[in-house]
Amino acid sequence: MKNVGAIFEYEEERNRDLMRAYKEQLASHENKDLQSVLNRVVEMPSKRFWVSEERAAIVISEMMRGKGLKVKGKVKREMYNEIYRRVVELKKSHSGMSVYDLTFMVVTGPAPKFYLTPGSAKVIIHKVKKQWYEERKRRLRHCLW
Protein backbone atom coordinates (compact mmCIF):
# COMPACT_ATOMS: atom_id res chain seq x y z
CA MET A 1 0.00 0.00 0.00
CA LYS A 2 1.30 3.46 -0.80
CA ASN A 3 2.07 5.93 1.96
CA VAL A 4 -0.54 8.44 3.03
CA GLY A 5 0.36 11.85 1.66
CA ALA A 6 2.55 10.40 -1.09
CA ILE A 7 3.07 12.74 -4.03
CA PHE A 8 1.90 11.54 -7.42
CA GLU A 9 4.67 12.51 -9.83
CA TYR A 10 2.44 12.43 -12.92
CA GLU A 11 -0.41 14.50 -11.51
CA GLU A 12 -0.13 17.42 -13.92
CA GLU A 13 0.24 15.17 -16.95
CA ARG A 14 -2.71 13.03 -15.83
CA ASN A 15 -4.80 16.14 -15.24
CA ARG A 16 -4.05 17.43 -18.75
CA ASP A 17 -5.02 14.07 -20.24
CA LEU A 18 -8.21 13.97 -18.18
CA MET A 19 -9.13 17.53 -19.19
CA ARG A 20 -8.54 16.60 -22.84
CA ALA A 21 -11.01 13.74 -22.50
CA TYR A 22 -13.46 15.95 -20.59
CA LYS A 23 -13.37 18.65 -23.29
CA GLU A 24 -13.81 16.02 -26.02
CA GLN A 25 -16.90 14.71 -24.27
CA LEU A 26 -18.32 18.20 -23.76
CA ALA A 27 -17.81 18.88 -27.47
CA SER A 28 -19.60 15.67 -28.46
CA HIS A 29 -23.27 15.71 -29.38
CA GLU A 30 -24.14 13.14 -26.74
CA ASN A 31 -25.97 13.68 -23.45
CA LYS A 32 -24.21 16.51 -21.62
CA ASP A 33 -25.44 16.13 -18.06
CA LEU A 34 -22.36 16.06 -15.84
CA GLN A 35 -22.76 12.48 -14.61
CA SER A 36 -23.09 11.12 -18.16
CA VAL A 37 -20.05 13.12 -19.28
CA LEU A 38 -17.97 11.85 -16.34
CA ASN A 39 -19.08 8.26 -16.96
CA ARG A 40 -17.89 8.52 -20.56
CA VAL A 41 -14.67 10.37 -19.67
CA VAL A 42 -13.36 7.69 -17.31
CA GLU A 43 -14.01 5.01 -19.96
CA MET A 44 -12.05 6.86 -22.66
CA PRO A 45 -8.57 5.65 -23.63
CA SER A 46 -5.79 7.34 -21.71
CA LYS A 47 -2.28 8.31 -22.74
CA ARG A 48 -0.81 5.87 -20.19
CA PHE A 49 -1.59 4.06 -16.96
CA TRP A 50 -1.62 6.71 -14.25
CA VAL A 51 0.57 4.96 -11.71
CA SER A 52 4.30 5.34 -11.20
CA GLU A 53 6.48 2.74 -12.82
CA GLU A 54 8.06 1.91 -9.46
CA ARG A 55 4.72 1.38 -7.68
CA ALA A 56 3.37 -0.72 -10.53
CA ALA A 57 6.55 -2.84 -10.63
CA ILE A 58 6.27 -3.55 -6.89
CA VAL A 59 2.63 -4.59 -7.18
CA ILE A 60 3.16 -6.65 -10.35
CA SER A 61 6.24 -8.35 -8.87
CA GLU A 62 4.20 -9.37 -5.82
CA MET A 63 1.42 -10.67 -8.06
CA MET A 64 3.95 -12.72 -10.06
CA ARG A 65 5.28 -14.24 -6.83
CA GLY A 66 1.74 -15.32 -5.97
CA LYS A 67 1.25 -12.84 -3.13
CA GLY A 68 -2.04 -11.66 -4.57
CA LEU A 69 -3.27 -8.16 -5.16
CA LYS A 70 -3.33 -6.09 -1.97
CA VAL A 71 -5.01 -3.04 -3.47
CA LYS A 72 -8.24 -1.54 -2.24
CA GLY A 73 -10.79 -0.32 -4.70
CA LYS A 74 -12.38 -2.11 -7.62
CA VAL A 75 -11.04 0.31 -10.24
CA LYS A 76 -7.41 0.11 -9.05
CA ARG A 77 -7.66 -3.68 -8.87
CA GLU A 78 -8.93 -3.68 -12.45
CA MET A 79 -6.00 -1.47 -13.51
CA TYR A 80 -3.36 -3.68 -11.88
CA ASN A 81 -4.96 -6.81 -13.30
CA GLU A 82 -4.74 -5.26 -16.79
CA ILE A 83 -1.10 -4.27 -16.25
CA TYR A 84 -0.35 -7.77 -14.95
CA ARG A 85 -2.07 -9.38 -17.94
CA ARG A 86 -0.01 -7.25 -20.33
CA VAL A 87 3.27 -7.90 -18.49
CA VAL A 88 2.66 -11.67 -18.60
CA GLU A 89 1.90 -11.42 -22.33
CA LEU A 90 5.05 -9.33 -22.99
CA LYS A 91 7.20 -11.72 -20.96
CA LYS A 92 6.45 -14.46 -23.52
CA SER A 93 8.27 -12.54 -26.24
CA HIS A 94 10.78 -10.69 -24.02
CA SER A 95 11.85 -13.46 -21.61
CA GLY A 96 15.20 -11.86 -20.79
CA MET A 97 13.71 -8.61 -19.54
CA SER A 98 13.11 -7.86 -15.88
CA VAL A 99 9.64 -7.45 -14.40
CA TYR A 100 10.51 -3.80 -13.79
CA ASP A 101 11.39 -3.21 -17.47
CA LEU A 102 8.31 -5.05 -18.70
CA THR A 103 6.10 -3.13 -16.26
CA PHE A 104 7.70 0.13 -17.39
CA MET A 105 6.86 -0.70 -21.02
CA VAL A 106 3.24 -1.46 -20.13
CA VAL A 107 2.63 1.46 -17.78
CA THR A 108 4.06 4.07 -20.12
CA GLY A 109 2.00 2.77 -23.02
CA PRO A 110 -1.61 3.68 -23.78
CA ALA A 111 -4.25 2.52 -21.31
CA PRO A 112 -7.74 1.42 -22.36
CA LYS A 113 -9.30 3.84 -19.88
CA PHE A 114 -8.45 6.21 -17.04
CA TYR A 115 -9.08 3.75 -14.20
CA LEU A 116 -10.79 6.45 -12.14
CA THR A 117 -14.27 6.49 -10.72
CA PRO A 118 -16.55 9.21 -12.11
CA GLY A 119 -16.50 10.77 -8.63
CA SER A 120 -12.70 10.93 -8.60
CA ALA A 121 -12.69 12.43 -12.09
CA LYS A 122 -15.18 15.07 -10.94
CA VAL A 123 -12.95 16.06 -8.00
CA ILE A 124 -9.85 16.27 -10.23
CA ILE A 125 -11.64 18.28 -12.93
CA HIS A 126 -13.05 20.67 -10.32
CA LYS A 127 -9.56 21.12 -8.84
CA VAL A 128 -8.02 21.82 -12.27
CA LYS A 129 -10.73 24.33 -13.16
CA LYS A 130 -10.38 26.07 -9.80
CA GLN A 131 -6.60 26.35 -10.26
CA TRP A 132 -7.10 27.71 -13.76
CA TYR A 133 -9.57 30.37 -12.60
CA GLU A 134 -7.36 31.36 -9.65
CA GLU A 135 -4.35 31.71 -11.97
CA ARG A 136 -6.41 33.76 -14.41
CA LYS A 137 -7.62 36.07 -11.61
CA ARG A 138 -4.05 36.46 -10.35
CA ARG A 139 -2.84 37.41 -13.84
CA LEU A 140 -5.68 39.89 -14.32
CA ARG A 141 -4.96 41.51 -10.95
CA HIS A 142 -1.28 41.73 -11.84
CA CYS A 143 -2.10 43.37 -15.18
CA LEU A 144 -4.37 45.94 -13.54
CA TRP A 145 -1.72 47.19 -11.16
Residue 3 lies in a domain: no
Q: Are residues 56 and 100 in the same domain?
A: yes
For residue 7, pLDDT over 70 is answered with: no
d(CA 87, CA 93): 10
Residue 99 lies in a domain: yes
Q: Are residues 66 and 99 in the same domain?
A: yes
pLDDT of residue 1: 47
Q: Are residues 29 and 67 in the same domain?
A: no
Name the residue among 61, 50, 69 with its Cα closest to residue 109: 50
Q: Are residues 79 and 36 in the same domain?
A: no
Domain extent for 72: 51-109
d(CA 75, CA 22): 19
Q: Are residues 99 and 125 in the same domain?
A: no
Q: Are residues 42 and 15 in the same domain?
A: yes
From residue 85, alpha-carbon distances to 20, 64, 97 in Å are 27, 10, 16
d(CA 114, CA 62): 23
Q: Are residues 94 and 120 in the same domain?
A: no
pTM, to two decimals: 0.85
pLDDT of residue 141: 73
Residue 33 lies in a domain: yes
From residue 74, alpha-carbon distances to 27, 51, 80, 95, 116 in Å are 29, 15, 10, 30, 10
pLDDT tens digits, residue range 43-81?
999 999 999 999 999 999 999 999 988 888 999 999 999
Q: Are residues 55 and 36 in the same domain?
A: no
pLDDT of residue 75: 96
Residue 1 lies in a domain: no
pLDDT of residue 35: 93
pLDDT tens digits, residue range 15-47?
999 999 999 999 987 778 999 999 999 999 999
Task: Give the pLDDT band (50/70/90) at residue 136.
Answer: confident
Domain count, the chain: 2
Q: What is the mean pLDDT of residues 11-18?
A: 95
Q: Are residues 105 and 86 in the same domain?
A: yes
Q: Are residues 64 and 83 in the same domain?
A: yes
